[in-house]
Homo-oligomer: A and B are copies of this chain.
Amino acid sequence: MTSIRDVAREAGVAISTVSKVLNNYPNVSQETKDKVEDAVRKLHFVPNAAASTLSSKQPDRVAVIINSSETSRLRDEINMQYISGAITSARSLGTDVCVLFSYMAESRSLEEMIQYLRTQNIGGIVVCTLDRTQLKLMALIESGTFPTVVIDAPFTGERISSISIDNRQAQYDVASKMIAGTSRRSILYIAGGDEGYVTEDRLNGIRALAREKKLRLMVRNGHFSEKQARTITKKYAPDYDAIVCASDMMAIGAMRELIEMDIFRPVSGFDGLSVMGYAGKQMFTVKQDFSGIAAEAMREEKRLMSGAHGRKIVMPYRLARITYEDVIE
């Protein structure tokens, strides 16, 4: 295996000089820098990650923790975008990522988990979709052991950054757009469960809209479940003009129930899943750039790992009607 040693010999300089060039140290003359870089190219040299992390005891890998529910496979579309966004971004940042699933954290003790992460040379974690059911993960974050970026949860701190879209505004916007130009004056809002941190923000969004436009608002909790959304729709839809849901899957459930009830109500969802293109009528939804969010989370993690203070990052979103034509290929 070609090592930094070979590069040094090839370039006619010392090992430490090669190391300095590789790590962009100042105080290296352009001339030697060129020599080293030529040698690197010539030998197709790539530094050994293990040796690197062992030597500089600064863990540089980032654990990307995915919250994959066994139940809704259709949400895997989101997780996949988180993963690919994080991995691609990490590569361009020169970092390594390690994909983990949140159930792995839940099935072991905090100490074990920390040890495991340490052992893997992990210096920071990115949590994709944190919710209140992830107790161990929460404890891990609060332990302050690793700088952390959480997606979709309102936690910031000295070493914690949060990143998400403006859920309140997005929920407001999508509902507002849906009823714009219509005479619909009452809304059935099917909220997510208390387990989700986004639930409250979205709820505030729809409440603000109702107050502002003087709409009659009924709020029910669908727990992000398509089935429960159907039940709620069946019971309340006849008395309301429009249905606003805190997730696409609930919107799909509502729409299917409406079809079965043979009444029409405009329905909006949240997230922009492809399956929306197959679920019947066109529905409004909030489309998030999950891949971009993960990429940004990765950048933020690097920032934190280099000592920066935690902060809150708000990402853009856009409203969309996902049609079959958008999805088909």
Tell whether A48 pairs with B44 under 8 Å between CB atoms, given A77-B73, A99-B87: no
How many angstroms from the CA of A152 to the CA of B80 in the assembled complex? Answer: 20
Interface string of A209-248 (1 = CB under 8 A from B): 0000000000000000111000000000000000000000
Of the listed stretches A138-146, A176-184, A271-279, A308-316, chain B binds: A271-279
User: What is the minimal beta-carbon distance from A136 to any residue of chain B, in angstroms?
Assistant: 15
A264 at interface, CB cutoff 8 A: no
A contact residues, range: 35 or more
The docked-state distance in angstroms from the alpha carbon of A112 to that of B51 is: 19
With known contacts A83-B83, A100-B87, A115-B44, A227–B72 Cβ distance under 8 A: no
User: Is A111 in contact with chain B by the CB < 8 A criterion?
Assistant: yes
- Judge whether A48 and B119 touch: CB under 8 Å: yes
Q: Choose from B46, B80, B327 the contact partner of A76 (Cβ within 8 Å).
A: B80
Residue A1, interface by CB 8 Å: yes
Give A83 to B66 CA distance when docked, in angstroms: 11
A112, chain B: closest CB distance, angstroms = 7
User: What is the 8 Å Cβ interface bit string for chain A, positions 57-93, against chain B (1 contact, 0 not)?
Assistant: 1000000000010011110110111011001100100
Copies in the complex: 2
User: Within 8 Å CB of A116, what residues of B?
Assistant: 46
Q: How far is the CA of A57 from the CA of B134 in the complex (A)?
A: 38
Cβ of A328 within 8 Å of any chain B Cβ, yes or no, is yes
Instruction: Flag A113-148 by CB within 8 Å of B: 1 or 0 each.
Output: 001101111000000000000000000000000000
Using Cβ atoms and an 8 Å threshold, which residues of chain B touch A226? 328-329
Q: Which of B54, B68, B96, B278 contacts A80 (CB 8 A)?
A: B68
Asked whether A274 lies within 8 Å of B87 as measured between CB atoms, the reply is: no
A48-B54, A80-B79, A119-B49 known; A329+B87 contact, CB < 8 A: no
Within 8 A of B (CB), among A280-329: 324, 327-329
Give every chain B residue within 8 A of A74 (Cβ-Cβ).
74, 77, 274-275, 327
A101 at the interface (CB under 8 A from B): yes
**Residue A7 is within 8 A (CB to CB) of chain B in the complex:** no
Determine the distance from Cα of A253 to Cα of B328 in the docked complex, in whole angstroms.
Answer: 8
A260 smallest CB distance to B (angstroms): 11
Can you pick out 22 interface pairs between chain A and chain B where the beta carbons lie within 8 Å of each other? A1-B118, A45-B115, A49-B50, A50-B50, A50-B51, A50-B54, A50-B121, A51-B54, A54-B54, A71-B329, A72-B329, A73-B274, A74-B327, A76-B77, A76-B81, A84-B101, A98-B98, A226-B328, A249-B329, A252-B278, A275-B278, A278-B279
Q: A83-B83, A96-B98 are in contact. List 13 more A-B contacts (CB 8 A).
A: A44-B111, A46-B112, A46-B116, A46-B119, A47-B119, A49-B120, A73-B80, A76-B76, A76-B77, A87-B99, A87-B101, A227-B328, A275-B278
